[in-house]
Amino acid sequence: MDQPDELIRKILDEKSLEALSTLKHINKEKGEALQSALMQHFYATRRLISYSEYVEIAKKIEEKNSKPTINFKRRGNFFELDDI
């Protein structure tokens, strides 16, 4: 197991850990950002992270990382100049 994962298990209270374990469809970027924010909060407060603190941190990460994006995928050579 990763060292950060073990640390996260130690710094969250029981309800927060249970909530974190239910996150199944979180992408890697958001997961790492949440993990980092939780560790930073723990180092700042030096106590277990309560559920309400966990929820606030998770909301901030979601707001920060949920910017509208448009992903363009090109399939084949649809825009060749010869075809126009």
Domains and CATH numbers, the chain: 3-67 (1.10.8)
Distance CA(69)–CA(1), nearest Å, equals: 33
Predicted TM-score (pTM) of the model is: 0.71
- The answer to whether residue 83 scores a pLDDT higher than 80 is no
- What is the model's pLDDT at position 77? 58
Mean pLDDT of 69-80: 56
* Band of residue 67 on the pLDDT scale cut at 50, 70, 90: low
DSSP state of 48: P
Q: Which long-range contacts does 49-52 make (Cβ < 8 Å, 24+ apart)?
A: 49/11, 49/12, 49/13, 49/16, 50/13, 50/16, 51/13, 51/15, 51/16, 51/19
- The answer to whether residue 80 scores a pLDDT higher than 60 is no
Q: What is the pLDDT of residues 13-60, one digit of tens each?
A: 999 999 988 886 678 888 899 999 999 999 999 999 999 999 999 999
